[in-house]
């Protein structure tokens, strides 16, 4: 009786071992893990036209690694590749092994500079408080400031630029409004601020009396005087241009006026598009 019990116990243990071995062989061993991309970068990520950037990557557990945009197969663990895109380009790295694939992207932005001038690409005009109902949309100068003798009154300038040639999804790195200062009258100096115009206006009909509403929060200012005659004067308006392109607010142009119109007694002359 004891021998029979021992024999049964032996067969039970042997069956368990056989079942475990069968299970391991049936599953084909441990399931392999997929590849991982530790990093995929572009240095620098912003270049000028004709410039180059270096793509760098580190990958684990991959049997093949590829990069699109015509690059193809690259080193499977880590490496670099120099690229010279003609326009802003997104690169996709794909790492693969028997368990599957993973991807990562990096973008190289190519700077593009565009000069936009009023005329065929926008409009500019000045308004005069003394000649309050007169239109100056076709004159060659933009007056900003104040006249205190002969024809006393304030003067302002309006500009608007057509941005339709720039893609709506463009990322604006830098945008500058530049005016060439032709002359300056009376002594001292004063600051000219830039303000965002809120309503539409027409170059051929705008006057002091019908000038559009503007956001009078001073976005930025520069100081002019007789010492700045014959020089380009500029204001940074990057945020506005970006907002006009992406639709954050409507492009009704820019107002240029003295930041303290009640105290100034001078005026600056700038060339207009005419």
> How do beta strands 176-185 and 267-271 pair?
antiparallel
pLDDT of 114 reads 84
Q: Considering the entire predicted model, what is its pTM?
A: 0.69
Residue 221 burial by Cβ neighbours in a 10 Å radius (0-12, 13-18, 19+)? middle
pLDDT of 32 reads 77
DSSP 175-232: -EEEEEEEEEESSSEEEEEEEEE-S---TTT--TTTPPPEEEEEEEEEEEEGGGTTSE
143 touches 157 (CB < 8 A): yes
Cα–Cα distance for residue pair 135/21, rounded to 1 Å:
96
pLDDT tens track for 201-230 = 999 999 999 999 999 988 889 999 999 999
Q: Residues in the chain with pLDDT < 70? A: 1-30, 119-121
Phi, psi at 44, each rounded to 5°: -75, 160
pLDDT of 69 reads 96
Cα–Cα distance for residue pair 188/226, rounded to 1 Å:
8
pLDDT tens track for 227-250 = 999 999 999 999 999 999 999 999
pLDDT of 116 reads 85
pLDDT of 169 reads 83
Cα–Cα distance for residue pair 151/136, rounded to 1 Å:
15
pLDDT of 137 reads 93
Cα–Cα distance for residue pair 42/31, rounded to 1 Å:
34
Which residues, other chains included, contact 31 with Cβ-Cβ below 8 Å and sequence gap of 6+?
Answer: 99
């Amino acid at each position: 009786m004891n021998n029979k019990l021992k024999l049964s116990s032996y067969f039970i243990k042997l069956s368990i071992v056989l079942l475990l071995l069968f299970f391991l062989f049936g599953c084909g061993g441990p399931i392999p893990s997929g590849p991982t991309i530790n990093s995929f970068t572009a240095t620098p990520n912003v270049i000028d036209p004709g410039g180059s950037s270096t793509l760098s990557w580190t990958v684990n557990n991959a049997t093949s690694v590829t990069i699109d945009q015509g690059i193809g197969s690259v080193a499977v663990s880590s490496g670099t590749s120099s690229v010279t895109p003609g326009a802003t380009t997104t690169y996709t790295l794909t790492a693969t092994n028997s368990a599957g694939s993973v991807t990562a992207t990096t973008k190289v932005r190519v700077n593009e500079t565009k000069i936009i001038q009023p005329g065929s690409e926008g409009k500019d005009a000045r308004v005069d408080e003394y000649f309050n109902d007169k239109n100056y949309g076709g004159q060659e100068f933009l007056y900003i400031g104040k006249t205190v003798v002969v024809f006393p009154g304030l003067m302002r300038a309006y500009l608007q630029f057509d941005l339709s040639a720039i893609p709506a999804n463009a990322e604006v790195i830098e945008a500058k409004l530049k005016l060439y200062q032709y002359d300056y009258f009376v002594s001292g100096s004063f600051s000219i601020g830039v303000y965002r115009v809120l309503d539409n206006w027409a170059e051929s009909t705008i006057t002091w009396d019908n000038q559009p509403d503007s956001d009078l929060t001073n976005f930025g200012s520069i100081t002019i005087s007789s010492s700045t005659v014959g020089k380009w004067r500029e204001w940074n308006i990057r945020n506005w241009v970006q907002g006009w392109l992406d639709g954050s607010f409507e492009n009704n142009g820019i107002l240029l006026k003295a930041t303290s119109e009640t105290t100034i007694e001078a005026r600056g002359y700038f060339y207009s598009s005419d």
